[in-house]
Amino acid sequence: MKDKIVEMLNKGLSDLVSKTSSREIEEVRVKYLGKSGELTAILKDMKNYEPEQRKEIGAIVNSARKELEDKIAEYKAKFEQEEMDKKLKEDAIDVTMPAKNVRIGALNPITIVQNKIINIFKDLGFDIYDGPEIDFYEYNFDKLNIPADHPARESQDTFYIDDKRLLRSQTSTMQIRVMENSKPPIKMISTGKVYRGDELDASHSPIFYQLEALVIDKNVTLADLKGTLDYLAKSLFGSDVSIRMRPSFFPFTEPSVEVDITCSKCKGKGCPTCKNSGWVEILGAGMVNPKVLDNCGIDSKVYSGFALGIGIERVVLGLSEISDIRILVENDVRTLNQYK
């Protein structure tokens, strides 16, 4: 028996020599010293021996176990250290390496101006509404008092989807939706893309951005509109600009006005941008046509209101050196980076 134990111990010790990792060492430990290990099995057999023998064999087994355990621990420590060193080496970060060049984006000037105008109206207490780009004829034309034979309805000017829906040609669609769904007083703006059948050139695009404002309450007058426009123009272009209103015609407002501001390039003296007039047109506005109020279930005998619509691209051109709106949609990062 004693020989058998010594043989087993030697076999265990020689097994260790050929191993190359802490995991393999652990396998050796399980093979000899684990619950079903070979040396453990001898201890389990002890009950079959006489007490005298039991004592002797027990001592030999325990001493063999101890020797093997010590050796295993020694190998395990050695491999674990090696493995740790290797892992640290692999995971090491070279802090002297050049950093990756992270490119930070910039907002398109259209978005910058849009946000600026939104904030001006927010400060004045306007609510902001977002609306669908695909809308009904009803909201884009009928309820805005645009007659059936109006040129804007021609299919070369408007993108029709089916016999009810179109790509909205103005954000005024949202005025109707808001008037139908809320009671005055109303102070709202809505902004987004609109679509028209224009060829793309330096000053036209089939897709462009509008921002629409609407105020409905008792006793709203043209003076309120003028005050709002003046505040808007000064907030956007600086306190030294003036505005002027010229009579115009839109089906959804009565009276209607085109609004000009002092040319920012020549400060009103006259230059090519303003065609030597000293004024640049920035938006259309007017008092909401009573028919439009009635179309939306608001009593035009009690309430009045004003509306204005701004072409965002036009404001961008007025505030920047950009003179061709195509530059705004080309997404050239060199352009965008200039407006960070």
CA distances to 96, 145, 250 from 290, rounded to whole Å, are 72, 10, 13
Site string for Zn ion, 234-263 (x = CB under 5 A): -----------------------------x
Q: Does 106 bind Zn ion (CB under 5 A)?
A: no
- Report the largest interatomic distance among the alpha carbons of the chain, rounded to a whole angstrom: 124
Question: With respect to Zn ion, which residue has the nearer C-beta, 147 or 272?
Answer: 272
Q: At closest approach, how far in Å is the CB of 317 from Zn ion?
A: 12
Q: ∠172-177-181 over CA atoms, to 5°?
A: 145
Q: Does 271 bind Zn ion (CB under 5 A)?
A: yes
Q: Which stretch binds Zn ion (CB under 5 A): 60-68, 88-96, 221-229, 269-277?
A: 269-277
Distance, in Å, from the CA atom of 310 to the CA atom of 191, rounded to the nearest integer, reads 9
Question: With respect to Zn ion, which residue has the nearer C-beta, 274 or 282?
Answer: 274
Question: With respect to Zn ion, which residue has the nearer C-beta, 235 or 273?
Answer: 273
Q: Does 9 bind Zn ion (CB under 5 A)?
A: no
The one-letter amino acid code at 232 reads L
What is the total count of residues that contact Zn ion (CB under 5 A)? 6
Among 157, 265, 281, 320, binds Zn ion (CB under 5 A): 265
Question: With respect to Zn ion, which residue has the nearer C-beta, 277 or 300?
Answer: 277
Check whether the bond before 147 is cis (ω within 30° of 0): no
Residue 198 carries which DSSP code?
P
Q: At closest approach, how far in Å is the CB of 273 from Zn ion?
A: 5
Q: Give the β-pairing of 186-195 and 207-217.
A: antiparallel
Q: Does 144 bind Zn ion (CB under 5 A)?
A: no
Q: Does 266 bind Zn ion (CB under 5 A)?
A: yes
Q: Would you call 293 exposed, middle or buried from its count of C-beta atoms within 10 A (0-12, 13-18, 19+)?
A: buried
Question: With respect to Zn ion, which residue has the nearer C-beta, 186 or 241?
Answer: 241
Q: How far is CA 46 from the centre of its chain?
A: 75
Nearest residue (beta carbon) to Zn ion: 263
Q: Which stretch binds Zn ion (CB under 5 A): 2-10, 177-185, 246-254, 268-276?
A: 268-276
Q: Does 291 bind Zn ion (CB under 5 A)?
A: no
The one-letter amino acid code at 323 reads S
SS3 311: strand
Check whether the bond before 255 is cis (ω within 30° of 0): yes
Q: Which stretch binds Zn ion (CB under 5 A): 144-152, 186-194, 239-247, 274-282?
A: 274-282
The one-letter amino acid code at 146 reads I
**Contacting residues toward Zn ion, per CB under 5 A:** 263, 265-266, 271, 273-274
